[in-house]
Amino acid sequence: MKSFRYERASNIASACASVAQPAAKFIAGGTNLVDLMKLQIEVPDHLVDISRLPLNGIEETPDGGLRIGALVTNSAAAIDLRVRRRYPLLAQAILAGASTQLRNKATTGGNLLQRTRCAYFYDTTKPCNKRVPGSGCAALEGLNRMNAVLGVSDDCIAAHPSDMAVAMTALDAVVETVAPDGSSRSISIDSLYRPPGNTPHIETVLAPGELIVSVLLPPAPAGRQVYRKVRDRASYAFALVSVAAILDLDGNRVRSARVAFGGLSYKPWRSAEAEAALVGAPAARAAFDAAGAAALRNAHGYGRNDFKIPLARRTLRATLTQAVGLS
Three-class secondary structure of residue 253 per DSSP = strand
Q: How far is the CB of 223 from other proteins (least distance, A)?
A: 16
Q: How far is the CB of 190 from other proteins (least distance, A)?
A: 24
Give just the sign of the alpha carbon dihedral 52, 182, 15, 71.
Answer: positive
Distance CA 274, CA 212 (A): 30
Whether the Cβ atoms of residue 93 and residue 12 lie closer than 8 Å to each other: no
**Using CB under 8 A as the criterion, which residues of the chain lie in contact with other proteins when the complex forms?**
1, 3-6, 27, 30-31, 34-35, 37-38, 47, 49, 51, 75, 78-79, 81, 84-85, 88, 91-92, 95-96, 98-102, 104-105, 234-236
Q: Is 291 exposed, middle or buried (0-12, 13-18, 19+ CB in 10 A)?
A: buried
Contacts of 137 (CB under 8 A, 6+ apart): 120, 127, 128, 129, 154, 155, 156, 157
Which one, 110 or 292, has the nearer CB to other proteins? 110
Three-class secondary structure of residue 90 per DSSP = helix
Distance CA 14, CA 209 (A): 10
Which one, 105 or 270, has the nearer CB to other proteins? 105
Which one, 41 or 277, has the nearer CB to other proteins? 41
Whether the Cβ atoms of residue 139 and residue 120 lie closer than 8 Å to each other: yes
Which one, 87 or 266, has the nearer CB to other proteins? 87
Which one, 17 or 79, has the nearer CB to other proteins? 79
The DSSP 8-state label assigned to residue 23 in this structure reads T
Which one, 38 or 285, has the nearer CB to other proteins? 38
Q: How far is the CB of 75 from other proteins (least distance, A)?
A: 7
Q: How far is the CB of 324 from other proteins (least distance, A)?
A: 17
Contacts of 93 (CB under 8 A, 6+ apart): 163, 164, 166, 167, 227, 229, 242, 244
The C-alpha torsion from 282 through 283 and 284 to 285, rounded to 10°, is 110
Q: What type of residue is 171?
A: L
Any idea how long the chain is? Answer: 327
Distance CA 305, CA 67 (A): 36
Q: How far is the CB of 37 from other proteins (least distance, A)?
A: 8
Q: How far is the CB of 233 from other proteins (least distance, A)?
A: 9
Which one, 28 or 152, has the nearer CB to other proteins? 28
Q: How far is the CB of 230 from other proteins (least distance, A)?
A: 13
Which one, 38 or 297, has the nearer CB to other proteins? 38
Q: How far is the CB of 33 from other proteins (least distance, A)?
A: 9
